[in-house]
Each structure stands twice: as C-alpha cells, then as structure tokens.
C-alpha cells in the first residue's frame, strides 16, 4: 500500500469538520433574558423541648381558644385588667368531674362575674381527638355543665351563663400523644360584656 502524505490527502473532510466545530469552540454564551428565580428553602420552626411547660397565651390572642372558640368581646379596660389569670379548666380522660385546681379556677371566674354584672360568660366544652364525635359532644356538654354548676353555686345566675360543646372539633393541639390530649380536654371561659349594660 503506497504511503500518502498529508499533503496528498483530500482536504474536504477536514474542512467540513472544522466548519462544524466552529460554533462550539470559543463562542461566548448570551446571558439569559430571564433572571434566575430565587430558591426558597423551607427551614422548620424550632420546636420547644418536651420538658418545656405549657404557658397559656394572652387573653388577646386571636386563637386563644382554638379555631372555633370564641374571644373575649366588648370588655372595658377595667374588665380586661381584672380578668382572672386562668380562663381554662382541664379534665381527666373521659371525665366531666372538676378537680380541686379546676374548682379554684371556676371560683376565681365566679368572683370576676360577681364584680362585673354587665359581663356574661360562655363555657366552651372541648375534648381530645380520640373517640367518636357524638360521644365527645356529649362529654363536652357535661364538662361545661359541671363548671356552670360551680358558678351557679357561687351566686352567678344561670341567665348569665351560656354553654356550648365543640366535642373534638376545637383542638388546641393536634398531635397524637398524652400531653396534647391533656391540653384539649378542657372548658374555656369566654367573656362578653352586654352592650348598653343590664
């Protein structure tokens, strides 16, 4: 086979190869007309340690009594300043019996109602998320009635007490554990002043 020098080779394939590679080599890339979108990174909120004690929210918080619960309304500055420190009574599992601490809280709230006769109260019975809604609605009613009996025994007329049960629909905490269930088993005191006085 005779040797062919590079000079004797046909140049056409080299020219085609060079022409095809020209657009790929050394061309500056045009900047994109659209700015790059910022990447959002979801950082989870810090969770309190399980040993932290539950602190009740202030009485002015929008969702103090859960998503369905009421808010204190139409109270004067003096009435707001005099609100009892505790506006919630907690219960044992499947119970509507008010314990000693719950009785003290109810009695403090009765004293508030005696001092401010133009203020009425709504007792909101709540349960944890276990069990049927039918059972929990009835249990929430019994819890509200138990607290209402204490208020009535301390001199608050039944006409100033309203009661409602949310059953398991008004959770403060939706985790499935004992500390969360304990927070949800409660009666909330929600106050409203009668406009125009009594």
Enumerate residues 6+ apart whose C-beta is below 8 A from 9.
none
Q: What is the pLDDT of residues 148-164, one digit of tens each?
A: 999 999 999 999 999 99
Q: What is the pLDDT of residues 167-190, one digit of tens each?
A: 999 999 999 999 999 999 999 999
For the ranges 40-49, 101-110, 132-141, the lowest mean pLDDT is seen at: 40-49
Predicted confidence at residue 66, as pLDDT, reads: 79
Model confidence, pTM: 0.68
Share of the chain above pLDDT 70, in %: 67
Complete DSSP assignment for 54-99: P-PPPTT-TTTTTTT----BS--HHHHHH--S--EEE--TT-----
The number of C-alpha atoms within 13 Å of 113 and in the hemisphere containing its C-beta is 28
Question: Which of helix, strand or coil describes residue 124?
Answer: strand
Predicted confidence at residue 197, as pLDDT, reads: 57
Q: How many Cβ atoms are within 10 Å of 53's Cβ, its own excluded?
A: 5
The fold adopted by the segment(s) 77-193 is 60s Ribosomal Protein L30; Chain: A; (3.30.1330)
Q: What is the pLDDT of residues 19-50, one digit of tens each?
A: 545 444 444 445 445 555 555 555 555 544 43
- Average predicted confidence (pLDDT) for the chain: 80
Look at residues 90, 69, 100, 89 and name the one whose alpha carbon lies nearest to residue 191.
Answer: 69
- pLDDT exceeds cutoff 50 at 15: no
Angstrom distance (rounded) from CA 65 to CA 172: 7
- pLDDT exceeds cutoff 50 at 116: yes
């Amino acid at each position: 086979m005779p040797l062919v020098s590079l000079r004797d080779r046909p140049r056409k394939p080299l020219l085609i190869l060079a022409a095809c590679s020209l657009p790929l080599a050394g061309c500056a890339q045009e900047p994109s007309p659209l700015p790059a979108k910022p990447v959002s990174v979801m950082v989870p909120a810090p969770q309190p340690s399980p040993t932290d004690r539950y602190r009740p929210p202030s009485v002015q918080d929008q969702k103090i009594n859960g998503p369905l619960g009421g808010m204190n309304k139409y109270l004067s500055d003096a009435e707001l300043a005099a609100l009892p420190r505790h506006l919630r009574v907690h219960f044992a599992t499947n119970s509507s019996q008010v314990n000693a601490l719950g009785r003290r809280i109810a009695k403090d709230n009765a004293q508030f109602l005696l001092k401010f006769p133009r203020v009425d109260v709504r007792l909101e019975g709540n349960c944890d998320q276990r069990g049927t809604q039918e059972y929990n609605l009835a249990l929430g009613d019994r819890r509200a009635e138990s607290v209402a009996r204490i208020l009535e025994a301390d001199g608050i007329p039944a006409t100033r007490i309203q009661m409602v049960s949310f059953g398991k629909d008004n959770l403060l905490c939706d985790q499935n554990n004992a500390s969360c269930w304990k927070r949800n088993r409660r009666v909330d005191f929600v106050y409203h002043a009668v406009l125009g006085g009594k």
